[in-house]
Structure 1
């Protein structure tokens, strides 16, 4: 699923909603009609702020993208449609800051902007007051500390197509990804893929739950087709009465989450431990408050703790746990409060080592021993998220670098102690165009360095069933890891509710298979009888030798020539809902590039060589 849209003020707002719902595209020429009269002249900044080009390291030159590729990318990642509008908004922000006016002075034109963009995108304007009040002050706080060059900023925040990689480099990449159905990858299996000695017959069972997004205001019979991006509320206008168990345009009610949990408890054997990869609150971002967000965070953790009593649950922080959603900046008191609550809640879920309490209070990351020889490393991915506008201030926030040092030291110590590590996070490193390249590059290098220690990498956030290859050199067919992205519990938008169970070798702790479960929400509503079923098992579904990185690299290559296999991947991506059944050649090529990318750079290397 493409993740969030437009920028600054309205972008920080209307954008937050357009990403989640298929809408009518906005013509770039319409941007001139969006910007209110009197705000179109760019003014320079004469202060000591830091330039975004210096912070982000991005080139400000225009991307060399063919017209056809531009259209394909805009269709696949609809936020690219808003490039010109983003640049105009950056100019408006600069004018506001240069004039030293207050937020209240700026609020009126910002609401007008939101209304105009929202209507162009196919939404009403009823949510704009809440959106601007929620995101406006934060955007201005960040912008006041930076010199916002329009081209650089909009490309760094992924509203504009990045500059593509040279043809020579991308051509080298595509030599090993062309149609080679019988390709043999000539390099050895990672050391951790081989068991040592006699192994027990019983595998370890690991449950992953992600992106619950429970909505306590879900109302059966309310409109599920509405003019704002989250429906099924009593106070929205629209058509098509919402079913009892859920709708694809809405978040899930508590009782449907309970159905899924009940089904998990019927599976034998029960999970040995559970991974929760974050995001508890719903997507009604124009109604949010700190009180509401923290209450939902608490409710979901308490619910999981109660329903899985006696089973350790290892959580990670999502981008929706905070207020406003997507924003996180540890130096500010509100986010310190979130960290303290996380500590209070998480220590109920598993035996938290005393030496990790400070890490959670500082920036919501930790490590813990699951059992002798197996360790969890949970890290805060919000530092790498392009819709966390505070991330533009990472250069002055020491906790981002402190977390990175901690991750490196944890893996190094695990290697010395002969331990294996499961890394868990919320936002996957290659979630282009929603992650900063710096995050993806750091993560790729880290996993490559400790590939013999890391046995599993579990993420969520996209709401889709996906994977990403860790390629140390995106021009060479050698993989050092595979990132598993689990589909969401929520149906928003277009997915059937789902969860996943991994089976680990009890000696090496390597994943030998996983089973994907889902609830067909359409059938549940029609039959008034929700039945959770197994959708597939990975090895059988994708004809895999094992779940190692080389097998998944081979799978990405086989997608090019095996359409049946690729269609299975598309079906599973949305847990069998059929939401993404329309995927032409350009869509297919870019989807394959997504599986081969763990950073913006590796994605660009792949996309740049497409013959589109």
Structure 2
């Protein structure tokens, strides 16, 4: 059912609620304009060859895989709805029932399901009407089902180079100008990364922090355990705690030379969202950062929560065009935006800008590669996705010609399995490999956790061409302490020589009513690194296998010292190490397929 939209040339946040799907109208047949997802997804239709034990480990690690059969039932329901040309209300009732089953599996009540189906149902039907959906293929492509594993021969080759070794010498040296000298220069460039603020204007101290819905600490939820003043691990963060973190940043000397904001401003109350609320929060957060860091350039990127509904983005539709226009209006306050980049932001929220002579930012929109963005199934008919990829290639090629170095920033990291499409990871891996002598830093967020991903051009060969840094979130949702990160760059080569990770212990802050932001660790010292280059981090992943103390440090830091993931058995450890070695679904599968689990 194609959705009829109210199209306007300009949408104010006050009027944004009017620009949502308003009904269904069968405007064309499914004939030549339909596509079989099997053609889009390729081999994903093949049944997975996963052992029962590995299946259980993966379902424990990635709860999304628990919903495989429910996803398949949901696709069948969609197909029945489209074939029968029925009303939305006919679809809505059984869809709410399926949502309730998911909510029950996740340990939540079903009260949010009416809002979720009303919010996401129109988009799902809009997308489905333009595709021929096979339940197994579609659910595997959207990563609700475990994908097919890689052949034993290929995965065995991968694990031969990742066996227990204290140190390794790799035969893929970085170019001389890209290699850090190891010691931190006396004067470095200081780069602050803030990610995933997710501020909650409705956070209420004393409200239930243990509740039966997705997000707690609201006055209108039922539950137990009164929420502390500064935040809770089951909730998003109140404004005053965000302010505490910013105040602590302003006390650090020297101040940051520039700031990277890797996106996601609104909270996680996805069943209550509206365009008005999302756009207002987007505006409030950007204005807040601009005001508090007056005089310091801030380079942003678009998250998956900036839009309505959260996670969804499709540039051909008018509401997302308005989001792009709002982004342009807000972002140009943060840094000197080149005139020739305004069109790129208006079209799909990507841009490049010169930070200083010799150093460039490349910010790209990662929503095209996100499996929760159901519109991404229509990438085959959306020219802006490919236009952005061409832009990224041309920007890096021009930077190389001009002798510039580049910092790439995005929201969703390419290897965030099971939340990214393999096509995204493969494209990004190839791009970084081709321009590894140009790219000095790759900064992402989204997972809310402190992680890294290796760029391995061939996942069966010990040759690393880059490392993706994933900064932990400002929000506490779910299970982590609020955090931010400061990188130190060589002022000549712009290579990162170290980074410092800061955090706020939310439990202590609530108990003492005295929030104190502290340094959690410095990367080189914490992980015994020679430098922050890809070779050092590949070696770190290998050392995790035999050095349990080192691995436990990584687990502690992943949630900024909250202790949320202290229960990590052998299977969990093996999968976690595979995450560090993966920048695409293919590389993750190559690693996981060879595990003896």
TM-score (normalised: structure 2): 0.94
Report the 3-state secondary structure (helix = DSSP H, G, I; strand = E; otherwise coil) of the residue aligned with 1:50. coil
Report the 3-state secondary structure (helix = DSSP H, G, I; strand = E; otherwise coil) of the residue aligned with 2:520. strand
C-alpha spacing 1:32/1:313, structure 2 compared with 1 (3 Å): closer
Give the total of aligned pairs.
Answer: 597
Over aligned residues, Cα RMSD in angstroms? 7.2
* Superposed CA offset, 1:388-444 (max 9, x none): 000000000000000000000000000000000000000000000000000000000
Report the 3-state secondary structure (helix = DSSP H, G, I; strand = E; otherwise coil) of the residue aligned with 2:166. coil
Unaligned ranges ≥5, structure 1: 1-15
* Superposed CA offset, 1:242-292 (max 9, x none): 000000000000000000000000000000000000000000001100000
Whether contact under 8 Å (2:38, 2:137) holds in the other structure is yes
* Superposed CA offset, 1:456-504 (max 9, x none): 0000000000000000000000100000000000000000000000000
Report the 3-state secondary structure (helix = DSSP H, G, I; strand = E; otherwise coil) of the residue aligned with 2:43. coil
After superposing the two structures, state which structure 1 stretch, 104-113 or 136-145, moved more: 104-113
Shift of 1:20: 31
Shift of 1:196: 10
Shift of 1:101: 1.1
C-alpha spacing 1:311/1:19, structure 2 compared with 1 (3 Å): farther
Q: Distance in 2 between matches of 1:297 and 1:472?
A: 36
Shift of 1:38: 24
Shift of 1:41: 23
* Superposed CA offset, 1:72-91 (max 9, x none): 11110111111111111111
Report the 3-state secondary structure (helix = DSSP H, G, I; strand = E; otherwise coil) of the residue aligned with 1:361. helix
Q: Distance in 2 between matches of 1:31 and 1:380?
A: 22
Whether contact under 8 Å (1:44, 1:94) holds in the other structure is no
C-alpha spacing 1:187/1:124, structure 2 compared with 1 (3 Å): closer
Runs of 4+ in 1 over 4 A off after TM superposition: 16-48, 195-200
Shift of 1:27: 45
Whether contact under 8 Å (2:7, 2:318) holds in the other structure is no
Whether contact under 8 Å (2:8, 2:318) holds in the other structure is no
Q: Distance in 1 between matches of 2:50 and 2:276?
A: 45
* Superposed CA offset, 1:496-534 (max 9, x none): 000000000000000000000000000000000000000
Shift of 1:128: 1.4
Whether contact under 8 Å (1:215, 1:253) holds in the other structure is yes
Report the 3-state secondary structure (helix = DSSP H, G, I; strand = E; otherwise coil) of the residue aligned with 2:9. coil
Whether contact under 8 Å (2:61, 2:572) holds in the other structure is yes
Q: Are 1:406 and 2:391 an aligned pair?
A: yes
* Superposed CA offset, 1:546-583 (max 9, x none): 00000000000000000000000000000000000000
Q: Distance in 2 between matches of 1:29 and 1:294?
A: 9
Match of 2:85 among 100, 113, 116: 100
Whether contact under 8 Å (2:172, 2:464) holds in the other structure is no
Q: Are 1:285 and 2:275 an aligned pair?
A: no
Q: Distance in 2 between matches of 1:285 and 1:86?
A: 19
C-alpha spacing 1:603/1:448, structure 2 compared with 1 (3 Å): same
* Superposed CA offset, 1:95-142 (max 9, x none): 111001121331222223223432343211211111111000000000
C-alpha spacing 1:81/1:567, structure 2 compared with 1 (3 Å): same
Q: Distance in 2 between matches of 1:163 and 1:28?
A: 44
* Superposed CA offset, 1:164-197 (max 9, x none): 0000000000000000113222342333334799
Whether contact under 8 Å (1:206, 1:274) holds in the other structure is yes
* Superposed CA offset, 1:30-49 (max 9, x none): 99999999999999987852
Q: Distance in 1 between matches of 2:324 and 2:261?
A: 17
Whether contact under 8 Å (1:25, 1:81) holds in the other structure is no
Report the 3-state secondary structure (helix = DSSP H, G, I; strand = E; otherwise coil) of the residue aligned with 1:58. helix
Q: Distance in 1 between matches of 2:73 and 2:510?
A: 45
C-alpha spacing 1:34/1:287, structure 2 compared with 1 (3 Å): closer
**Pairing of 1:183-222 with structure 2 (within 5 A):** 183-194=168-179, 201-222=186-207
Q: Distance in 2 between matches of 1:79 and 1:27?
A: 36
After superposing the two structures, state which structure 1 stretch, 23-32 or 161-170, moved more: 23-32
**Corresponding residue of 2:46:** 61
C-alpha spacing 1:61/1:275, structure 2 compared with 1 (3 Å): same
Q: Distance in 2 between matches of 1:140 and 1:366?
A: 32
Shift of 1:200: 7.0
C-alpha spacing 1:311/1:20, structure 2 compared with 1 (3 Å): farther
**Pairing of 1:426-505 with structure 2 (within 5 A):** 426-505=411-490
Q: Distance in 2 between matches of 1:585 and 1:42?
A: 54
Whether contact under 8 Å (2:473, 2:484) holds in the other structure is yes
Q: Distance in 2 between matches of 1:606 and 1:27?
A: 48
Whether contact under 8 Å (1:428, 1:460) holds in the other structure is yes
Whether contact under 8 Å (2:399, 2:405) holds in the other structure is yes
Q: Distance in 2 between matches of 1:588 and 1:549?
A: 21
C-alpha spacing 1:609/1:563, structure 2 compared with 1 (3 Å): same
**Corresponding residue of 1:362:** 347
Unaligned ranges ≥5, structure 2: none
* Superposed CA offset, 1:37-75 (max 9, x none): 999999998785210111222331211111111111111
Q: Distance in 2 between matches of 1:350 and 1:25?
A: 24
Q: Distance in 1 between matches of 2:273 and 2:160?
A: 49
After superposing the two structures, state which structure 1 stretch, 238-247 or 20-29, moved more: 20-29
C-alpha spacing 1:73/1:599, structure 2 compared with 1 (3 Å): same
C-alpha spacing 1:591/1:44, structure 2 compared with 1 (3 Å): farther
Shift of 1:201: 3.2
**Corresponding residue of 2:547:** 562
Q: Are 1:250 and 2:235 an aligned pair?
A: yes
Whether contact under 8 Å (2:484, 2:502) holds in the other structure is yes
